[in-house]
């Protein structure tokens, strides 16, 4: 999935005047690229991710995903876009607490339109691919470690074979070793499935190992570092 | 696992909180069921009273009330005219008489008392009286001593003597054929005890030998001290062929009572007094109507309370789980699916509360209904004491109405349960409306903003 962002602007009204979270952002991501976005807190990283994931509407600009402007989609089509083409990985994992790991993954499969009879096997397969065994799959998130929860979160993100994974600080709550393992998992995906990944991170070490890194500063996007590790 | 299963599981996610909510709902829904049952029972009774008592018309010779007043009895010709009047479905003819000590070998079971002596004071002066002991008054005038008497009612329907408006209670033996002319009688409990009469016992009256065919009981001492015989038997024994002192008429509908009364007044003229039970029946069910209104108020109040409980609970749950809702939307869940899940949660809590409430309501509906009825029935009521039970049908209606009031029972019918279920669903829908609106407003982007 290729992405082309043109003149993207997001403004929030505030008592002291409008706040420009994103100002005239332009960048392009090619299919299968692993891109990182770094920046200080409040620099607009999560806002940019929201626009790319069709979670929010920009004030101006366009986001062309495979030649289709997702900012022009209806609410219903944006939901379909999220369920079939996008996988989200969050810093806080955001698993549904009263569902087991297996059921969390099956939930995404349900939203993707998979037949009920196939969901369980597919979910177990996805969980196994991220290193979650069947015993762990039957536990609720509260009974799993942070790293295990993030693996479940990645399995959920992969459920409908998305072309794009948007990860918001995926290693932010994990220790160094676990963070490295999660990064490797995401990195391998880009190579094995040609999945495009855009990750927001504070971790410059991780950012340095992606295909391309952008920095968000006061709502503006600049090239920070380009390179492959 | 589909959206409905998730909704059901979500409802029992926090057992303690869910339990508390279910208990509150169960109490409210139980109250709804109990009030609906009370209302159904009361409405049934109101319709029953209106259908029966309100169709009654009583015709008496003009100027006669019980054994007071004076005038000529109704004739067979007049009775025939009444029977042929349009919309008259049935008639019960009665003739009453009193047995003095010379007329029978029975000993009266009623004490004369001051009221009886007062009534007979003219007879004591020798104005007129059945045969009896002679009294010499202080001014030298002689007369009969006041004596208690035994009332005899000749009727075409012995059940018309029942004071509760229903069927006459026969404690032993069997009833008599009111339309026959046999020398047989139903003996009041008190009179039977006073004279050691049992079923099959014989006694004399009007120079004839009667057989006690049954013993009846009305819990009214005046009635229980009397005799009931077939109308024709009494007419024959007292040489009053065709005479009737009271004619109870039943109309086919309470709507036609007024026209029948008008028609009878026209055909019978001023020789008779005609009264209908309609107004008295309306009055006697007024308190029941009050209970019905009170019960409906209770139903509405409990429904609103239940809806508020569900609404506040679901609003709290939605606010607590705002982030979870955002996540579901972010990974592709539609508004419809999320709303369905939360409405299912509300429905699950409401249905569990409804089932417990239904059982609770059925269990307490009887006592709640009785409590409501007793509180209304114990309100002061205006019941005339003149004339005694023979004073006429009006008193009988009122007495029947009062006993009927206390006889109201809660009615848990399929309609009551269906209404209860309908209200339970309404509670869930109303209680879910605001939370659903809140859910629709939650933007998935909030998940990332709170990271």
Instruction: Report B:337-376 residues touching A (Cβ under 8 A).
Output: 337
Residues of chain B in contact with residue A76, where contact means CB-CB under 8 angstroms, are: 334
Q: CB distance B331–A156 less than 8 Å?
A: yes
pLDDT: which is higher, B426 or B53:
B426
Residue A169 in domain? yes
**Residues B318, B371 within the same domain:** yes
Under 8 Å CB-to-CB from B75, ≥6 apart: which residues? B242, B243, B244
**Does residue B132 surpass a pLDDT of 80?**
no
B444 with B307, same domain? Answer: yes
More confident: A168 or B50 = A168
List b or e across B402-435, with b for residues whose CB sees 16 or more CB atoms inside 10 angstroms.
bebbeebbbbbeeebbebbbebbeebbbbbbbeb
How confident is residue B404, by pLDDT bands cut at 50, 70 and 90? Answer: low
A contact residues 36-65, partner B, Cβ 8 Å cutoff: 46-47, 49-50, 53, 55-56
Does one domain contain both B248 and B292? no
Which of B219-223, B343-347, B385-389, B399-403 has the lowest average pLDDT? Answer: B385-389
Highest mean pLDDT among A98-112, B159-173, B243-257: A98-112
B132 and B201 housed in the same domain: yes
The residue with greater pLDDT, B177 or B113, is B177
Interface of A with B in 129-158 (CB under 8 A): 156
Co-location of B245 and B319 in the same domain = no
CA distance A171 to chain B (A): 13
Model's pTM, two decimal places?
0.62
Mean pLDDT over residues B423-430, rounded? 83
Distance of CA A130 to the CA centre of its chain: 16
B7 Cβ under 8 Å from any chain A Cβ = no
Give the pLDDT confidence of A55-94 residue by residue, as tens digits: 888 999 999 988 888 888 888 888 888 888 888 888 888 8
* Same domain (yes/no): B177, B301: no
Q: Is residue B173 part of a domain?
A: yes
Residue B308 pLDDT greater than 50, yes or no:
yes
Looking at residue B10, what is its pLDDT?
Answer: 81
In a shared domain, residues B203 and B97: yes
Residue A135 CA to residue A132 CA, distance in Å, equals 8
Contacts of A217 (CB under 8 A, 6+ apart): A39, A40, A43
User: Considering the domain boundaries, does residue B171 fall inside one?
Assistant: yes
Strand runs (DSSP E) across A77-195, as ranges? 86-89, 164-168
The residue with tokens 């090619």 is A30
pLDDT interval class at A228 (50, 70, 90): very low
Tell me the C-alpha distance between A15 and A185, whole Å: 43
Q: How many CB atoms lie within 10 A of CB B350?
A: 30
Q: Total domain count for chain B?
A: 2
The answer on B228 and B160 residing in a single domain is: yes
Flag whether residue B15 sits within 8 Å of chain A, measured between CB atoms: no
pLDDT of the residue at A137: 94
- How much is the pLDDT for B279? 67
| Structural domain containing residue A76 | 31-58+72-226
User: Please, which residues bridge with residue B151 across strands?
Assistant: B98
Which of A108-117, B110-119, B442-451 is modeled with the greatest confidence? A108-117
Closest CA of chain A from B409, distance in Å: 47
Tell me the pLDDT tens digit for each residue of A13-50. Answer: 888 888 888 888 998 998 888 899 988 877 888 888 88
Number of domains in chain A: 1
Q: Distance between CA atoms of B413 and A33, rounded to whole angstroms? A: 70
Q: Is A211 on the interface with B (CB under 8 A)?
A: no
- In whole angstroms, what is the distance from residue B431 CA to residue B166 CA? 48
CATH of residue A169's domain is 3.40.50.300
Q: Is the pLDDT of residue B401 over 50?
A: no
Neighbours of B231 (CB within 10 A): 23
Using alpha carbons, select from B185, B82, B182, B104 the residue that is nearest to residue B150. Answer: B104
Residue A1 lies inside a defined structural domain of this protein = no
B204 and B300 in a single domain? The answer is no
Dihedral sign for Cα A37, A40, A45, A46, please. Answer: positive
Residues B342 and B420 grouped into a single domain: yes
Q: Which residue has the tokens 């369980």?
A: A120
Of the residues B252, B269, B295, the one at which a domain ends: B252
Residue B379 contacts A where some CB pair is shorter than 8 Å: no
* B241 and B383 both lie in a single domain: no
The ipTM estimated for the assembled molecules is 0.87
Looking at residue B53, what is its pLDDT? 64
Q: Is the pLDDT of residue B67 over 80?
A: no
User: What residues of chain A lie within 8 A of the CB of B332, using their CB?
Assistant: 79-80, 82-84, 108, 111-112, 160
Distance CA A34, CA A198 (A): 6
Rounded CA separation B92/B246 (Å)? 8
Rg (CA), chain A: 17
Domain assignment present for B423 = yes
Q: Which of B52-56, B123-127, B434-438 has the lowest mean pLDDT?
A: B123-127
**pLDDT value for B200:** 93
The CA distance from B281 to B283, in Å, is 5
Beta bridge partners of A60: A9
What mean pLDDT is predicted for residues B286-306?
85
pLDDT given at position B92: 92
More confident residue, B392 or B198: B198
Q: Which domain holds residue B211?
A: 87-252
Question: What pLDDT is stored for residue A1 in this prediction?
Answer: 73
| pLDDT computed for residue B392 by the predictor | 36
Query: Can you tell me the mean pLDDT for B176-190?
Result: 92
Please check whether residues B108 and B151 belong to one and the same domain: yes
pLDDT exceeding 90 applies to what percent of chain A?
23
Q: Give percent of chain B above pLDDT 90.
A: 19
The pLDDT-based confidence of B134 (bands split at 50, 70, 90) is very low
């Amino acid at each position: 999935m290729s992405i082309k962002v043109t003149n993207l602007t997001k403004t929030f009204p505030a008592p002291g005047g409008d706040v420009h979270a994103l100002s005239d952002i332009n960048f392009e991501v090619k299919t299968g690229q692993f891109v990182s976005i770094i920046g200080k807190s409040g620099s607009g990283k999560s806002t940019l991710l929201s626009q790319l994931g069709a979670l929010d509407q920009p004030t101006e600009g366009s986001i062309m995903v495979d030649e289709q402007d997702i900012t022009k989609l209806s609410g219903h089509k944006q939901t379909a876009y999220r369920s079939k083409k996008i996988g989200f990985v969050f810093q806080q994992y955001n698993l549904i607490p009263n569902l087991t790991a297996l059921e969390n993954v099956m939930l995404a499969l349900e939203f993707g339109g998979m037949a009920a009879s196939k969901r369980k096997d597919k979910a177990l397969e996805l969980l196994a691919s991220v290193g979650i065994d069947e015993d762990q799959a039957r536990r609720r998130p509260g009974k799993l470690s942070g790293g295990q929860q993030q693996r479940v979160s990645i399995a959920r993100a992969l459920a409908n074979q998305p072309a794009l994974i948007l990860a918001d600080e995926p290693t932010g709550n994990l220790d160094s070793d676990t963070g490295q393992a999660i990064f490797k998992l995401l990195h391998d995906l880009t190579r094995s499935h040609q999945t495009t990944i855009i990750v927001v991170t504070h971790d410059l070490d991780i950012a340095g190992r992606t295909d391309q890194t952008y920095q968000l500063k006061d709502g503006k996007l600049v090239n920070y570092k380009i390179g492959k590790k | 696992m589909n959206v409905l299963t998730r909704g059901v599981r979500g409802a029992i996610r926090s057992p303690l909180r869910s339990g508390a909510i279910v208990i509150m709902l169960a109490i409210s829904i139980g109250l709804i069921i109990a009030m609906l049952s009370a209302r159904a029972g009361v409405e049934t009774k109101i319709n029953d009273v209106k259908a029966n008592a309100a169709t009654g018309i009583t015709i008496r010779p003009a100027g006669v009330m019980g054994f007071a007043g004076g005038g000529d009895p109704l004739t067979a010709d007049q009775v025939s005219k009444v029977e042929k009047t349009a919309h008259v479905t049935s008639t019960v003819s009665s003739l009453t008489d009193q047995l003095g000590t010379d007329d029978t070998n029975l000993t009266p079971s009623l004490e004369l008392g001051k009221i009886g002596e007062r009534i007979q004071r003219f007879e004591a002066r020798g104005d007129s009286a059945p045969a009896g002991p002679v009294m010499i008054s202080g001014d030298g005038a002689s007369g009969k001593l006041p004596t208690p008497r035994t009332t005899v009612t000749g009727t075409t329907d012995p059940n018309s003597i029942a004071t509760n408006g229903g069927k006459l209670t026969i404690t032993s033996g069997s009833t008599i054929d009111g339309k026959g002319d046999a020398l047989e009688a139903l003996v009041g409990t008190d009179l039977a005890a006073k004279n050691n009469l049992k079923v099959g016992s014989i006694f004399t009256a009007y120079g004839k030998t009667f057989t006690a065919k049954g013993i009846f009981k009305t819990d009214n001492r005046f009635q229980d001290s009397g005799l009931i015989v077939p109308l024709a038997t009494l007419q024959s024994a007292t040489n009053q062929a065709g005479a009737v002192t009271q004619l109870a008429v039943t109309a086919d509908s309470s709507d036609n009572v007024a026209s029948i009364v008008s028609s009878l007044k026209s055909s019978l003229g001023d020789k008779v007094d005609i009264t209908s039970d309609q107004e008295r029946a309306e009055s006697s069910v007024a308190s029941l109507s009050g209970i019905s209104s009170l019960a409906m108020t209770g139903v509405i109040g409990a429904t609103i309370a239940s809806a508020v409980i569900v609404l506040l609970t679901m609003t709290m749950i939605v606010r607590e789980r705002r982030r979870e809702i955002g996540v579901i939307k972010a990974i592709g869940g539609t508004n419809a699916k999320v709303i369905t899940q939360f409405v299912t949660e509300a429905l699950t809590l409401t249905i569990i509360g409804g089932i417990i409430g239904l059982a609770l309501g059925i269990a307490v509906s009887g006592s709640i209904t009785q409590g409501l009825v007793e509180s209304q029935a114990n309100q002061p009521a205006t019941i005339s004491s003149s004339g005694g039970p023979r004073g006429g049908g009006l008193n009988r209606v009122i007495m029947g109405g009062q006993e009927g009031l206390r006889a109201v029972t809660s009615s848990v019918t399929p309609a009551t349960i269906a209404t209860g279920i309908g209200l339970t669903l309404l509670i869930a829908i109303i209680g879910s409306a605001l939370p659903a609106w809140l859910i629709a407003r939650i933007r998935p982007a909030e998940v990332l903003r709170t990271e």
